[in-house]
A and B are shown apart, each in its own frame.
Chain A
Amino acid sequence: MKMNKPISHHLTDQDLLDYSTGKLEESFALAAAVHVSVCDQCRATLDSFDAIGGTVLENSSHQEMSQGSFDKTMALISALPSTKVTRKEPSNLPDALAGYIGKSLDDIKWTPIGMGVKQKILHTGDTGTARMLYIPAGTAVPDHGHKGREWTLVLQGAFFDETGHFGPGDIEIADPTVEHTPTAAAGDACICLAVTDAPLRFSGILHRLVQPLLRI
């Protein structure tokens, strides 16, 4: 992920709190993990929420462990494979994303969805949908609104819409009230991670017909 300029679109404190407490669905947690990997400001906020979680844990009540639990834990440990500290192979992508798409954006097997736009649905275990989107420079994604939330995180290139300009690392948080037409900026094709907790609502009749087929 090439970061040309500072990140200017962030997660909200509430989103980071939900991520810290483990309340985000897997697809949204994926987007949060990728954003935090490259955004020091959100990482600091997340660390502070985790610290509060730790303090709450420290000061909370105890539940007595059963007899022999320590020995059982030692037995678990001896059954664990030994973890060697290995140097990670260099990757341009945050680990969280590499777990879903492979080491590089070049590894993605895209499916064309029209007008040069391509997508790849990621397999998350929740009810939301996470997908990678490839939008050629200058191309607009059809005007759409949302029944639920949609987060769009830029990995390469940039896009702009009615609400602003989004470059690598930036995340757009769109709630059901937002109707927008994201357009890839000139230069590199724009590659994003888009997560939704409800299908997108495209305005045109044709798109409404094909939408179930594309799962977006």
Chain B
Amino acid sequence: MTLLDTRLRRIEASPCGQVCDSRGISVAHKEDGVLDKTPNDKWVALIRRINRDKDVSAFEVLFDHFAPRVKSFLMKSGADNTMAEECAQEVMATVWQKSHLFDPTRASASTWIFTIARNKKIDALRKLKRPEPDELSWGAEHEPDQEDVISLQQETQRLGAALSELPQKQRDLLEQAFFHEKSHSEIAQDTGLPLGTIKSRIRLALDKLRHSMS
């Protein structure tokens, strides 16, 4: 099994219904014959157009949505405005350049872009290399199975919904764990919470997310 697999167990298709993202992006977007039930599907179709057609207008839509989020991520990780701006541009350029490596059966667009932004952070802020696992991709000719694409994108949609239902405190700690260049013990110092509490809260938040997916 691929997908999010053992942890975020494959869920039967539940009525995910009419979902809009926080900015109310339409869910009724149909393109490339991809079934567009969620905003994630829209990103999948856009990245496909970037890869196949070198479509600048598709890239601009993706850029407008993700570049400000990537910039925010980098600033929370300790970059100043200038550096975060430059790095966000480089991250988006990488998105264009590596669009052929995006595999919608394994990751949503936001997950894929998160991994590129994280690697940029390690490279630019920590000056370290980032050894990456081997790609599982089957090569350029491989056409992803639409069912797998839809199922992965629906899981992502549900993960997003589950995240927004977490108590604010847990959501904050999760964001710190992912975004900030801080160890758990530094987060403990900042928040005044005992280290054990931080760890168990993050674990609790992750467990809740997992359970919400099963």
Residues of A within 8 A of B (CB): 13, 17, 20-23, 25-26, 29-30, 32-34, 36-37, 41, 43-66, 69-70, 72-74, 76-77, 80, 83, 85, 87, 94-97, 99, 124-126
Q: Are A37 and B72 in contact (CB under 8 A)?
A: no
The CB with the most chain B CB atoms within 10 A, among A45, A56, A96, is that of A56
Q: Nearest Cβ distance between residue A24 and chain B, in whole angstroms?
A: 9
- Given the interface pairs A22-B122, A58-B69, the reply to whether A48 lies near B160 with Cβ below 8 Å is no
Within 8 A of A (CB), among B3-31: 3-8, 21-22
Distance of A87 Cα from B115 Cα, bound (Å): 23
Closest to B66 in A: A57
Distance of A99 Cα from B131 Cα, bound (Å): 9
- Asked if B163 lies at the interface with its beta carbon under 8 angstroms from chain A, I say yes
Q: B128-147 toward A: CB 8 Å interface, digit per residue (1/0)? A: 11111110100110000000
- Asked if B154 lies at the interface with its beta carbon under 8 angstroms from chain A, I say no
- Given the interface pairs A64-B68, A99-B131, the reply to whether A44 lies near B7 with Cβ below 8 Å is yes
Q: Are B5 and A44 in contact (CB under 8 A)?
A: yes
Q: Are B72 and A54 in contact (CB under 8 A)?
A: no
- Which single member of B114, B128, B179, B209 contacts A25 (CB below 8 Å)? B128
- Asked if B193 lies at the interface with its beta carbon under 8 angstroms from chain A, I say no
Within 8 A of A (CB), among B63-84: 63-64, 67-73, 75-76, 81, 84
Q: Which residues of A contact B85 (CB under 8 A)?
A: 65-66, 69
Q: Which residues of B contact A85 (CB under 8 A)?
A: 100, 139-140
Q: Are B108 and A51 in contact (CB under 8 A)?
A: yes
Q: Which residues of B contact A74 (CB under 8 A)?
A: 56
Q: Which residues of A contact B202 (CB under 8 A)?
A: 17
- Asked if B150 lies at the interface with its beta carbon under 8 angstroms from chain A, I say no
Q: Nearest Cβ distance between residue A52 and chain B, in whole angstroms?
A: 6
- Which single member of A21, A44, A55, A125 contacts B129 (CB below 8 Å)? A125
Q: Are B69 and A33 in contact (CB under 8 A)?
A: no
A43-B133, A54-B156, A55-B156 given; name 4 further pairs at CB < 8 Å. A17-B177, A55-B160, A57-B73, A61-B72
Distance of A65 Cα from B119 Cα, bound (Å): 20
Leading 7 A-B pairs by shortest Cβ distance:
A54-B111, A62-B68, A44-B5, A96-B131, A48-B7, A54-B110, A33-B131
Q: Are B93 and A124 in contact (CB under 8 A)?
A: no
Q: Which residues of B contact A56 (CB under 8 A)?
A: 114, 163, 174-175, 178-179
Distance of A72 Cα from B177 Cα, bound (Å): 31
- Given the interface pairs A63-B68, A73-B93, A94-B134, the reply to whether A53 lies near B111 with Cβ below 8 Å is yes
Q: Are A59 and B98 in contact (CB under 8 A)?
A: no
- Asked if B112 lies at the interface with its beta carbon under 8 angstroms from chain A, I say yes
Q: Which residues of B contact A61 (CB under 8 A)?
A: 69, 72
Q: Which residues of B contact A50 (CB under 8 A)?
A: 107, 111, 114-115
- Asked if B197 lies at the interface with its beta carbon under 8 angstroms from chain A, I say no
Q: Which residues of B contact A77 (CB under 8 A)?
A: 93, 96-97
Q: Are B111 and A51 in contact (CB under 8 A)?
A: yes
Q: Nearest Cβ distance between residue B135 and chain A, in whole angstroms?
A: 8
Q: Are A22 and B130 in contact (CB under 8 A)?
A: yes
Q: Nearest Cβ distance between residue A116 and chain B, in whole angstroms?
A: 29
